[in-house]
Amino acid sequence: MNIKGHVDTRRYNPSRDIAYAWPNLMQAALVAFEKEKGEPITAFLIQEFNINDRDLGELIQRYANYFKECLAQGGKEYKRPEDALAACGFFDLPVSHQAVILTRLGQVATGAFFYAVRDVYIDSNDPPYNDAKIVEIGKQAKEAFIKRSRLRWYHYVLKPWKLFA
């Protein structure tokens, strides 16, 4: 199935698929904010940044408003996602608060890719993405960050895990 009149003939369509899956991905991300179901990285960031329940509620509400703005953007003049985020007051929150929800969404997207990519393979077709290109982009990013500065996260994340090595 594809978007009517769309020239893309692949079985999958990234824009359509992300739009279709986003409510489920967002729900999976927000479950981590329930204390009894807390995911370790999210729980750590909430404690590290000293985010209380009221702040967390405000953060989630503003991100949910972003979701609503994206769905209702027909008559709006948003040119970029940042425009819709700004309209929701998301950028009025401290960067540390923004990082908590964006980190969690990144974790969910990473997990979703792991499962979803298997579903788009057809035995007789090439893979739906170019893994060599992805690895090359990762290597280039690593080199760019190393040259720019000795970022702390490089030493704690990329180096020990040998990512893009």
Digit-coded pLDDT (tens) for 112-155 = 877 776 666 656 566 555 567 767 777 777 777 666 655 555 55
* CB-based contact 103:45 (threshold 8 Å): yes
Domain ranges, residue 34: 14-129
In a domain, 26, yes or no: yes
**Shared domain check, 147 and 90:** no
Q: Kindly state the tokens that stand for 136.
A: 């090359």
**Shared domain check, 163 and 118:** no
**Shared domain check, 115 and 53:** yes
In a domain, 3, yes or no: no
**Shared domain check, 74 and 154:** no
Spans in the chain with pLDDT lower than 70:
1-14, 35-37, 74-75, 117-131, 134, 145-165
**Shared domain check, 90 and 63:** yes
Q: Is the pTM of this model over 0.85?
A: no
State the pLDDT at residue 119: 63
**Shared domain check, 146 and 99:** no
- Which residues touch 8 (CB under 8 Å, ≥6 apart)? 2
**Shared domain check, 98 and 79:** yes
**Shared domain check, 122 and 160:** no
What span, in angstroms and rounded, lies between the C-alpha atoms of 108 and 52?
23
**Shared domain check, 114 and 56:** yes
**Shared domain check, 144 and 125:** no
How many domains, in total, are found in the chain? 2
State the pLDDT at residue 114: 78
State the pLDDT at residue 147: 65
Taking alpha carbons only, the member of 72, 66, 71 closest to residue 87 is 66
State the pLDDT at residue 4: 55
User: CB 84: neighbour CB atoms within 10 A?
Assistant: 20
Taking alpha carbons only, the member of 142, 54, 48, 53 closest to residue 99 is 48
3-state secondary structure of 11: coil
**Shared domain check, 66 and 18:** yes
State the pLDDT at residue 161: 45
